[in-house]
Amino acid sequence: MIEPGAISRLKDIVGDGGYSDDPKEIAPHLREWRGRYHGRSPLLVKPKSTDELAKVLAVCDETRTPLVPQGGNTGLVGGQIPFHGEIVLSLARLNAIRQVDTETMSVTAEAGAILADIQHAADRAGAYFPLSLASEGSCTIGGNLSTNAGGVNVLHYGNAREQVLGLEVVLANGTVLDMLRSLRKDNTGYDLKHLFIGAEGTLGIITAAVLKLQPKPEQHVTAFCAIPDPAAAVTLLHRLNRATGGLITAFEIMPRIGLEFVLRHMENVRDPFAAAHSWYVLVEAQGGAIVPLRECLEAALVAASEDSFLDDAVFADSEGQRAALWRLREDMSEAQKFEGGSIKHDISVPLARIPAFLERAQTRIQALVPGIRPVPFGHIGDGNLHFNLSVPVGADNAAFLARWEEISRVVHDVVADFNGSISAEHGLGIMKAKEIARYKSAAELGTMALIKRSLDPNNILNPGKVLDL
């Protein structure tokens, strides 16, 4: 139970417009977009500055008032939901893009800045910010960093962590860590910023970041390829990377069933090929204007076809065609909704072992649930798959979804067999906070708990997430 006095003090700090206790205004912050998680909260706090946020945290720490930070509310593991009546701390008003600096090739943005807005600001300055997600029109950079988001360009540019030069963070007791530096090298002890990236708001609240910019690509070459199996995808990726000198930026795999879902349920999409194929990869390369990317990719694909690693391929000859090919990949999650219940997994295994993982995982899961429809797709280039499972045709949705933990245990045990991760890019949140204890060592979990207790001794920051303390 949160003390009324604490709530009154928080309202005074942020002032009119900086809070809401109206259940209707709070309601959208209590439900994640898939509808799986629902929470409750007496107060939504919306500080407009780092100073206000620091004062909010100081009061919360003093009064033992728990809070849950929230960005764009696009998370998939419940990390942003207040399950036990915590205060909701929205970063929405901390949304300024403070500076775009093409001299240092960096952009400084506050935590509530929308990812797409940062991309556009970089583009207007003649630069490129490569972090790209399906939710980029609504997710915020603070949330991206707090979950160490991945996306479609990880293969070439790395996760969100690799995009960060400096951070501004507020600790649980209200102390502000000003680490907003654009240095590429700073070897002066512990690199504290990495403690908070991927911590899901459990160690401190990210309020701003200095992010790396990249040279703006002068060309994109996009191809949609039909392949016989996932093993061919692994071989094809290696060949295309060699052919382009490492300029493949995205390499996404899709099964036929996933493409059929998109073609069946989504508007303004079409099959790129006249015949159906078992598997597909969407390939994209970026580079400077003088690099013969199209020619390199075409030659490599011809050679792959001759060696039976490629069945067919089409290239995008315009920006409209490129967008149409990407829609086939980006609409896959949405299309699954129309097929009934879907149990989702965000896993990674070493790239070379993905074909064996898929064979073993699908065999075990089909033995457990006859008729289940596996829809594994995603960022195979960096070893990350969304191993989604659709309800058998004609089966009861509720009964199927009630087996989520049982089914996930089978999938995650296979992931562990291949020395993989049960959370590649979505985080742990509440969904996997207990389950991770099955797969991480006691030494790892103990060290994580030690860090949490040192930085947040009163456990006010997103309690119950990441670690089941």
Hey, what domains does the chain have and what are their CATH numbers?
Answer: 4-90 (3.30.43.10), 97-215 (3.30.465.10), 219-334 (3.30.70.2190), 339-426 (3.30.70.2740)
Q: What is the pLDDT of residue 180?
A: 97
Q: Do residues 153 and 249 touch, judged by C-beta distance below 8 A?
A: yes
Q: What is the pLDDT of residue 1?
A: 73
pLDDT category at 458 given cuts 50, 70, 90 is very high
Q: What is the pLDDT of residue 114?
A: 98
Alpha-carbon separation of residue 27 from 23, 30, 81, 84, 150 (angstroms)? 6, 5, 11, 14, 28
User: What does the pLDDT average to over 2-29?
Assistant: 95
pLDDT category at 33 given cuts 50, 70, 90 is confident
Using the predicted structure, report yes or no on whether residue 107 has a pLDDT greater than 80.
Answer: yes
The pTM for the full model equals: 0.94
Q: What is the pLDDT of residue 3?
A: 87
Using the predicted structure, report yes or no on whether residue 175 has a pLDDT greater than 90.
Answer: yes
Q: Do residues 256 and 279 touch, judged by C-beta distance below 8 A?
A: yes
- Residue 150: which of 347, 412, 433 has the closest Cα? 347
Mean pLDDT (the chain, rounded): 96
CA distance 165 to 193: 9
Q: What is the pLDDT of residue 339?
A: 97
Residues β-bridged to residue 328: none
Q: What is the pLDDT of residue 341?
A: 94
Q: What is the pLDDT of residue 35?
A: 80
Contacts of 113 (CB under 8 A, 6+ apart): 95, 96, 97, 140, 141, 142
Q: Do residues 310 and 226 touch, judged by C-beta distance below 8 A?
A: yes
Alpha helices in 214-292 (DSSP H): 230-244, 256-265
Question: N- to C-terminal Cα distance for the chain?
Answer: 19
